[in-house]
Structure 1
Amino acid sequence: MSAAPFTNEKQADEKQEPTYSNEIDSDGSSTDNTIAALVNEDHQHDIKLRTMSWQKAAWLLAGDQVCLAIMAQTWSLSVLGWVPGIITMVGAGILFWITSITMHNFILKHPQIKDICDFGYYAFGKSRIAYEFTGFMLLANNILLIGFHILTGAKVLNTLSDHSQCTVVFSVIAMLMGIVMSIPRTLKNVSFMSMFSAACMGIAILLFLIFSGIEAAPLVGYNGDYPTDGLVRTYAFPLPGTTWVNCMNAVLNITFLWVPQILFPTFIAEMERPQDFPKSLAVLVAISTFLFIVPPAIGFRYLGQYSTAPAFGSLGVVAYKKASFAFVIVPTLVIGVIYANVSAKFVYFRIMGKSRHAHSNTIIGWGAWIGVIAGIWLIAFVFSEVVPSMGDFLSLLGAAFDSFFGFIFFAVAYWQLYKGKLFSGLGRTGMTIIHVFVMLVGLFLLGPGLYAAVEAIIADYSGGTRPAFSCTNLAI
């Protein structure tokens, strides 16, 4: 059963309402009882989803967040400079904590929520339109992200093998590995992969920092080979000539890293005690605050204006580049698996509805699951091959979708939680003002941010672009 179950016949046009109570008593006992009923029902099935402890959820969160995008933050600092860059990073982290707690509080009021689509349904007043629109955004966002990870996997294999095969072959290899790794149905099992993924990304970052510190000079930046643009230097504010579009894309690059909440409702729905999610979140924030700021800052110190995205590309010694970039293949695939799992569950439960195959070890159930997984990775593979610049399209995603999933949704959810008492005390008034700011940030990303992302795509299309299904060497 999904949070928004559909059957293939009578309920095709009507979203089914859960039968559980969604009202919170002052002591939270109603919520606890509802969650206990949901867990008990889930545990009657062959395939049990609500089984994650908060520790496993923390590893799952870390596996999703400790990713290659960290290595693009050095470039963001090189565009924005120390002061705007660090302020944006810290500000994004604070808003991430606040909006995630708001999300958790809203889900505790509606414990039957199973994914971000259900969250949108309840946040916008049980709107079917909001549910379907969120479902479209979920699939579009996740499939393009999986495509980006397929492309990244091809880049890693190109780099390590000195382009020994056509890039399309490497992309197919990454896709097939992703399909096999995505077969586990429960996020509890995926969390074990996440532990290994986070460790490998941590090793890659550590090696990069060591190599960037001991090498004589960077290899290349976007303005030419070293020392075309002079000696390495850092600066407090953007360099003269930096365009507004570049600055906006650097900001989107940072906010993209700090906005993973599209997955959180699914993670919470598979916890045995969703009430413990703030513990998992606290672990994630501690890890993220360090990794999202310290390594990029050290990278900027040694690479300066020669920073690339990812920063591995700036390393001057090819052996250093290969040794550090090699470890990225694990998080690249595992993060793709996480997004595939969340996307597949949305599609799978729309297909299976409340049939016994949805939660049982049947040939039909497993066949449908593997078919959905394979379909998602195949579509993502096509996008990875036909989109000339996945980086620009990720900026587009950050503006078009993260504006909703990182900001607007949670400002609306906050209003739903506290309407009628938004200014009932000093603390509540302060949080209300913060959430008004959250809404404004979301609208800003959706407006000027979207414009900047589109401008960057237009600029890339005006130059030479990579042909579809090309064998072009993508090694960094």
Structure 2
Amino acid sequence: MTAKAETNSRSSSTTGSAEKITLAAHYKSTDVTQDKYPDDEVASDSEVQIHYRSCSWQRTAGLLFSEYICLAIMSFPWSYSVLGLVPGLILTVFVALTVLYTGLVIGDFCAKYPHITNVCDIGQHLFWGKKWAWYATAVCFLLNNTLIQALHVLVGAKYFNTISDNTTICSLVFSVVTIIVCFLFSLPRTFSSMSGIAYFSALTMFVAVILSVIFAAIQDHPEGFHPEVPVQWNLWPEKGTTYVSGMSAFLNIVYTFVGQITYPSFISQMKEPKDFKKALYLVTVCELITFALAGSIVYVYVGNAYITAPAFGSLIGNYKKIAFSFALPTIFFLGALYGNVSSQFIFLRIFDEKSRHRNNHTKRGWTVWVLLNLGLWAIAFVIAEVIPFFSDLLSLMSSLFDCWFGFVFWGVAYFQLRKSHYVETLGEQDISFLEIFKKESFVGKLEFISNFALILIGIYILGPGLYASVDSIVLSYQSHLYGSVFTCVSNAI
């Protein structure tokens, strides 16, 4: 996939062109207060071979669809079985609207500061422009993405064990197969080039969800059914539901919706960043309808006693295998997408705007790119084999990272945007947030309070939420629900 080396005369021309095109799309400013760059520097240059800023809003919508129409949808029935149908649906709507609102804030923030290209730049901007904030955000960003990759390695092995009724092949082999396929999917250099596969991934996962709903309704009984334990579902939590189980169920919902960590990266590669909101509105409506209907219908037909996470495990025989098989493209692609996001983040730090390896097909550029992807998938493999569980891993990731990237960051971003507005309109450099609150309209005051609540929710998820996640994992291990690390034992559902 490499190209021939450039001649010396063309090399200098390409270098200048690369610097020009990437100044807008991938500018790494040491001055985080810089607000603008010349519009004409966004223009593409024929000398550049790899155009990063090439994603339309329709292609961005495809990436968002693939991110949200994912396997985690099939954990919603389990969440509803713990929370009860009414609280589960209320929390689903609440989290969906919260993510939509924070996504709009991200769009406004990236429009205000167009030199931002990823969530780490935002982290530095939000927390006093300090470089330590950038590095701290980068660590969380990479850990979050790598854990998601590991989750897909785990689920890939689970799929192959399930579909083959495996009793002889070591599960590690299936994990390696999953990694190889995901690695190949993660190799394209731009998000635009991945969008076609993204739509296919979202479509097949949607089919998997619809089939699961249909099969749950028409099957004679759920997997593991016993006549003396009837299928029952609840509108409200069962008596005796613990805080740990309830919080874990809530965090499963949060994890599925919270995907804002990738938004700045996607926006930075859009032809028209202002169109990001179109993609966001479209995806939010579709995901809310899909999540709520799939979660509630499967839960009602399967019941509390037989629900699994993912819910494919509650289907019998070929129903399970057929529905699960349609989820395979998503298992591969979504893990690849997060691997690609991480690889791009590191790659664009290794090669700055002046490097021809960044925007051209060079041997060194492609070698570094392939090794980055391969290294991240190797790490994901180790994590997947050390942490062999599904629903508890979703909860753990929510409590560790979604608290920041789903709530705290965007509450702080809102306050910075409001302060910037008043500084520009009133010219008061030292205006306090209390003074801003007093100047706001009634609706503005409500929005002010809501964003403060977002920060508190994030802090709550990080504290008690993390405690609940860890305690749930400990209890599961004590109950011998999980196997040992690097085991060959089948993890089929």
Task: Please give the TM-score of this superposition, normalised by the length of structure 1.
Answer: 0.91
The CA distance in 1 between the partners of 2:136 and 2:121, in whole Å, is 11
The code of the aligned residue for 1:91 comes to F
Query: Deviation per CA, 1:121-175, whole angstroms, max 9, x where unpaired?
Result: 1122212111000000011111011011011111111111111521100100000
The code of the aligned residue for 2:339 comes to A
Alignment-derived partner of residue 257 in structure 2: 258
The code of the aligned residue for 1:312 comes to F
The CA distance in 2 between the partners of 1:443 and 1:386, in whole Å, is 28
Cα deviation, residue 213, structure 1: 0.7
The code of the aligned residue for 1:239 comes to E
Is the CA contact (8 Å cut-off) linking 1:167 and 1:473 kept in structure 2?
yes
The code of the aligned residue for 1:381 comes to F
**Is the partner of 1:443 in helix, strand or coil?**
helix
Alignment-derived partner of residue 17 in structure 2: none
Cα deviation, residue 469, structure 1: 1.8
Alignment-derived partner of residue 35 in structure 2: 22
The code of the aligned residue for 2:232 comes to R
Cα deviation, residue 460, structure 1: 2.5
Aligned CA distance change for structure 1 residues 443 and 277 (closer, same or farther; 3 Å) = same
Cα deviation, residue 91, structure 1: 0.6
Residue 207 of structure 2 corresponds to residue 203 of structure 1: yes
Q: Which blocks of at least 5 consecutive residues in structure 2 are unaligned? A: 1-21, 420-430
Alignment-derived partner of residue 457 in structure 1: 473
The CA distance in 2 between the partners of 1:298 and 1:395, in whole Å, is 23
The CA distance in 1 between the partners of 2:290 and 2:105, in whole Å, is 24
The CA distance in 2 between the partners of 1:266 and 1:296, in whole Å, is 30
Identity within the alignment, %: 38
**Equivalent runs, 1:97-108 vs 2, <5 Å:** 97-108=100-111
Query: Deviation per CA, 1:32-67, whole angstroms, max 9, x where unpaired?
Result: xx3734522677632111101111111110011100
Aligned CA distance change for structure 1 residues 21 and 44 (closer, same or farther; 3 Å) = farther
Taking only aligned residues, the RMSD between alpha carbons, in angstroms, comes to: 2.0
Residue 177 of structure 2 corresponds to residue 177 of structure 1: no
Query: Deviation per CA, 1:177-233, whole angstroms, max 9, x where unpaired?
Result: 11111110010011111110011101111111111111111113xxxx4345x2112
Query: Deviation per CA, 1:441-463, whole angstroms, max 9, x where unpaired?
Result: 11110111111011112212334
The CA distance in 1 between the partners of 2:318 and 2:88, in whole Å, is 30
The CA distance in 1 between the partners of 2:38 and 2:303, in whole Å, is 51
- Aligned length, in residue pairs: 452
Alignment-derived partner of residue 471 in structure 1: 488
Cα deviation, residue 297, structure 1: 0.8
Alignment-derived partner of residue 82 in structure 1: 85
Query: Deviation per CA, 1:285-331, whole angstroms, max 9, x where unpaired?
Result: 1111111101111111101212211111111x211110111111100
**Equivalent runs, 1:58-73 vs 2, <5 Å:** 58-73=61-76
The CA distance in 2 between the partners of 1:337 and 1:76, in whole Å, is 26
Query: Deviation per CA, 1:344-397, whole angstroms, max 9, x where unpaired?
Result: 011112222332211111000011001101111111011111223353233111
Cα deviation, residue 118, structure 1: 0.8
Aligned CA distance change for structure 1 residues 3 and 318 (closer, same or farther; 3 Å) = farther
The CA distance in 2 between the partners of 1:21 and 1:396, in whole Å, is 36
Residue 447 of structure 2 corresponds to residue 443 of structure 1: no
| Structure 1 residue ranges (4+ consecutive) displaced by more than 6 angstroms after TM superposition | 2-6
The code of the aligned residue for 1:451 comes to Y
Is the CA contact (8 Å cut-off) linking 1:156 and 1:328 kept in structure 2?
no
**Equivalent runs, 1:319-358 vs 2, <5 Å:** 319-354=318-353, 355-358=355-358
The CA distance in 1 between the partners of 2:72 and 2:364, in whole Å, is 38
Residue 447 of structure 2 corresponds to residue 431 of structure 1: yes
Is the CA contact (8 Å cut-off) linking 1:45 and 1:360 kept in structure 2?
yes
Alignment-derived partner of residue 396 in structure 1: 396
The CA distance in 1 between the partners of 2:251 and 2:46, in whole Å, is 41
Aligned CA distance change for structure 1 residues 291 and 44 (closer, same or farther; 3 Å) = farther
**Is the partner of 2:111 in helix, strand or coil?**
helix
**Is the partner of 1:262 in helix, strand or coil?**
helix
Residue 127 of structure 2 corresponds to residue 124 of structure 1: yes
Alignment-derived partner of residue 151 in structure 1: 154
Aligned CA distance change for structure 1 residues 36 and 473 (closer, same or farther; 3 Å) = same
**Equivalent runs, 1:245-324 vs 2, <5 Å:** 245-305=244-304, 306-315=306-315, 317-324=316-323
Cα deviation, residue 279, structure 1: 0.2
Which of structures 1 and 2 has the bigger CA Rg?
2
The CA distance in 1 between the partners of 2:366 and 2:387, in whole Å, is 32
The CA distance in 2 between the partners of 1:414 and 1:19, in whole Å, is 17
